[in-house]
Amino acid sequence: MTESAATQLATQLIVILLLALLGATAITIARMRQLWAAVMLTGVFSFLGASWMLILDAPDVAFTEAAVGAGISTFLMLATLGLTSREAKPPTGFKPVPLVVVIVTGCALVYGTLDMPHYGDPDGHIHAYPDPSYIVKTNGDKGDPNDSDGEINLPNVVTAILASYRGYDTFGETTVILTAGVGVILLLRRERRTTGQPEPPSADANTGGPA
Amino acid sequence: MNHYAILRIVTKLLIPYILLFGLYVQFHGDFGPGGGFQAGVIFAAGIILYGLVFGIGAARRVAPAPVVERLIAVGLLIYAGTGIVGMLKGGNFLEYGVLAHDAQHGQHLGILIVELGVGITVAAVMITVFFAFAGRERTE
């Protein structure tokens, strides 16, 4: 048990370090006027968040966070900066209302966590409900040799639940992504088409352009 | 960024592995961490990296915009089609158990196909968003 105690201590130290860095990055971003550097720091924030999720045994969330948060959304923000301004407007004096709203919301969130079970608590709701759990439903009770292999028998229970038991849900999510893509095409591409069409063949400008 | 030799060569080395990892996450999603959404995002990130380093024109040649835009719908149609095939075989919409002779195999098959649909849609949307943002220029 001494070895596991040592690893636990090391994990806790890494978690504390990561969370401290997350906090420091967030405060730095909030205080920064140089938007270019702030965008880069949001990428750093995403990578730190991904590392933390890896410690929480959620590798799939971790690499989604790394790819979307640090990769794609950083690019999108940089592309937006390229079209707008690289510097934030100077703050227009102290406003008390946003501060009060943030403090009240923060206190409410902290108050909410008091009701939550501790991390890894075996008596937590997610471990007690539903019964039989979806892990047993999916893969069968591995401790019971007489039990069947379950309904799906896939090692990755998350995939089994998302794609099968909650297939409608995932279908809806995919539709949301499709809608987002269609929205981007409709909003952002129209302009390029009207302004960019006469560009490619230069001769078309004289002959009235393509039909 | 075409004149940064280190960036270009490192990107060239990395992209095959990023795309391969995307495919691994896609098709190994039933057994390891991952699934369609993660795979689509990783795959798209590979193409976006290519576009960032070698120029948007090169990325458009690899992933032509008309094809990518159609793939958005194709992915969702694969998902919905799986559900409808299940209905034609006598089950409910998105009931995978009836897809194969054995209910468990049917579930495996259904999940694999459905996740492929999700992956295609997500990758195509991400690449489309990249093209849409990168293709815009300052209007003023």
- For B120, which residue in chain A has the nearest alpha carbon? A174
Q: Is A13 exposed, middle or buried (0-12, 13-18, 19+ CB in 10 A)?
A: exposed
SS3 A168: helix
Structure confidence by residue, pLDDT tens digits, A77-116: 988 888 888 777 887 788 889 999 999 999 999 999 988 8
**Which pLDDT score is estimated for A51?**
92
The token pair that represents A7 in the structure block? 């690893």
In a domain, A95, yes or no: no
**Which pLDDT score is estimated for A5?**
86
Q: Where residue B1 falls among pLDDT bands split at 50, 70, 90? A: low
Please tell me the total count of domains within chain B: 1
A148 has pLDDT over 80: no
**Which pLDDT score is estimated for A191?**
52
Residue B107 makes CB contacts below 8 A (sequence gap 6+) with: A151, A152, A153, A154, A160, A164, B96, B97
Residue type, A167: G
In a domain, A182, yes or no: no
Distance CA(B11)–CA(A209), nearest Å, equals 38
Pick from B30, B104, B139: which is nearest to A156 by CB?
B30
**Which pLDDT score is estimated for B92?**
87
**Which pLDDT score is estimated for B2?**
61
Of A183, A182, A162, A184, residue with least CA distance to A171: A162
The mean pLDDT value of chain A amounts to 82
Please tell me the total count of domains within chain A: 1
SS3 A91: coil
Cα A107 off chain centre by:
23
Structure confidence by residue, pLDDT tens digits, B8-41: 999 999 999 999 999 999 998 888 888 889 999 9
Structure confidence by residue, pLDDT tens digits, B91-109: 888 888 888 888 888 888 9
B61 has pLDDT over 80: yes
Angle between helices A167-196 and B65-88 (to 10 degrees): 150
Distance CA(A52)–CA(A11), nearest Å, equals 10
Contact of B90 with chain A, judged by CB distance below 8 Å, is answered with no
Residues 47-86 of B with CB under 8 A from A: 48-49, 52, 69, 72-73, 75-76, 79-80, 83
A198 has pLDDT over 70: no
The domain containing residue A43 runs over which residues?
1-87
User: What does the pLDDT average to over B99-126?
Assistant: 91
**Which pLDDT score is estimated for B43?**
93
Angle among Cα B108, B47, B75 to the nearest 5 degrees reads: 35
In a domain, A189, yes or no: no
- For B29, which residue in chain A has the nearest alpha carbon? A159
Contact B108, A154 (CB under 8 A): yes
In a domain, A60, yes or no: yes
**Which pLDDT score is estimated for A16?**
93
The domain containing residue B38 runs over which residues?
5-134
Residue A92 belongs to what H/E stretch? none
Q: What is the DSSP string of chain B?
A: -TT-HHHHHHHHHHHHHHHHHHHHHHHTTTTSS--HHHHHHHHHHHHHHHHHHH-HHHHHHHS-HHHHHHHHHHHHHHHHHHHHHHHHTTS-TT-GGGGSSSHHHHHHHHHHHHHHHHHHHHHHHHHHHHHHHHT-----
The token pair that represents B16 in the structure block? 């095959």
- Report how far apart, in Å, the C-alpha atoms of A64 and of each of A10, A33, A106, B28 are: 25, 28, 26, 16
In a domain, A46, yes or no: yes
User: What does the pLDDT average to over A188-198?
Assistant: 54
In a domain, A117, yes or no: no
Strands (E), A54-140: none
Kindly list the residues from chain B whose CB atom is less than 8 angstroms away from the CB atom of residue A170.
79, 114, 118
In a domain, B139, yes or no: no
Closest Cα of chain B to A146: distance in Å? 18
pTM for the whole structure:
0.82
**Which pLDDT score is estimated for A196?**
46
Contact of B120 with chain A, judged by CB distance below 8 Å, is answered with no
Asked if the Cβ–Cβ distance from B31 to A154 is below 8 Å, we say: yes
B104, B108, B109, B114: CA torsion to nearest 10: 130
- For A191, which residue in chain B has the nearest alpha carbon? B136
Structure confidence by residue, pLDDT tens digits, A30-88: 888 888 999 999 999 999 999 999 988 888 889 889 988 888 899 889 888 888 887 77
Beta-carbon count within 10 A of A177 CB: 20
Contact A22, A52 (CB under 8 A): yes
Residue type, A56: L
